[in-house]
DNA sequence: GAAATAATAAGACGGAATGACTGAGATGTC
DNA sequence: GACATCTCAGTCATTCCGTCTTATTATTTC
């Protein structure tokens, strides 16, 4: 039973979080965020994490005097990947059980409830874009 | 950056799936399902996996002439754990982004849409149980 | 009830994953 | 040209996790 490696590890995620928060940065700036007292060793650690993230196409590198790294996936992309993994491994690929779980077990705030009702309508494929536009204006 | 081990590994999950499908079983029966030609080695593998699952309180063991193992968590429990992990690591603990993702990115079937509308109403805490009962009857 | 068969128990193994590190060279900067 | 800083290319150590071995204790079968 071949084990499936993590898509993105904890340490890699920490790097991504910095890029999401601060935007594109050189390694040094990322290191400062993650290891405030960081010296050469920690710098190299961040470098290695970026190298792995790049090989997974999760960050891009702008080469130059100093390389600048930027996130190529955003939080929601990653949320999507992880939800997909859950759906595939536990629900035979179906999304519905996830949805049901969230609504029934976790419950909804009043805000959630309103937003959800609106989303259900807005993303109803039976409605044309024109109809949706009309709804928004009302 | 301490790494977080998987809650339940792939091989452990395979064992759980058998117990979910077939109900409580002795090791031998589980082994038959997972390794149809399984001999002593594979039997021991399943045994080790069950031992680890037991230490995580995911299966119970009824001791006797032959030990019988039973799942102590069901699929939805595990779905919940994994969704929680996603929410905590990527959404600051909030469930809303998961919900939003499912509805917006994955889309809803007509059936989903109907079921969801009903759930939103049913689990609305502003409504008393009496009101919900009334609604169901209508 | 002895031989054969099967189950339990305890530990060891090995490859891969992952966070962290070192050292040599390149590139700038004053 | 000296100094700091960055890049690059490894290496390392620990843990994880799927797997297997061996020994001991039941259980069956004739």
* Prediction ipTM score: 0.86
Looking at chain B, the whole-number percentage of residues with pLDDT higher than 90 is: 68
User: Is pLDDT at B137 greater than 50 in this prediction?
Assistant: no
Is B90 in Cβ contact with A86 (below 8 Å)? no
Q: Domains in chain A, please, with CATH?
A: 10-71 (1.10.10.10), 109-138 (no CATH)
Q: How high is the mean pLDDT of chain B?
A: 90
Name the more confident of B108 and B24.
B24
| Nearest CB neighbour to A104, from listed B1, B89, B123 | B123
Q: What is the pLDDT of residues B43-56, one digit of tens each?
A: 999 999 999 999 99
pLDDT of residue A117: 87
**Among B62, B6, B67, which Cα is nearest to A6's?**
B6
Tell me whether residues A83 and B102 touch, CB distance under 8 A: yes
Mean pLDDT of A90-110: 91
Q: Who has greater pLDDT, A29 or A63?
A: A29
**In this complex, how many residue pairs, one in chain A and one in chain B, have their CB atoms less than 8 Å apart?**
135
pLDDT digits (tens, 9 = 90+) for A102-116: 998 888 888 888 888
Tell me which residue in A99, A115, A120 faces B117 most closely, judged by beta carbons.
A120
């Amino acid at each position: 039973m071949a084990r499936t490696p993590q898509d993105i590890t904890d340490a890699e995620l920490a790097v991504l979080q910095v890029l999401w928060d601060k935007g594109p940065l050189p390694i040094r700036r990322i290191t400062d965020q993650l290891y405030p007292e960081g010296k050469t060793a920690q710098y190299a650690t961040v470098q290695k994490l970026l190298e792995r993230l790049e090989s997974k196409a999760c960050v891009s590198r702008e080469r130059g005097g100093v390389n600048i790294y930027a996130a190529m996936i955003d939080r929601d992309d990653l949320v999507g990947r992880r939800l997909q993994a859950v759906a595939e491994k536990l629900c035979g690929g179906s999304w519905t059980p996830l949805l049901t779980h969230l609504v029934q077990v976790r419950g909804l705030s009043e805000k959630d409830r309103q937003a959800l009702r609106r989303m259900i309508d807005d993303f109803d494929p039976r409605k044309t874009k024109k109809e949706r536009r009309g709804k928004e204006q009302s």
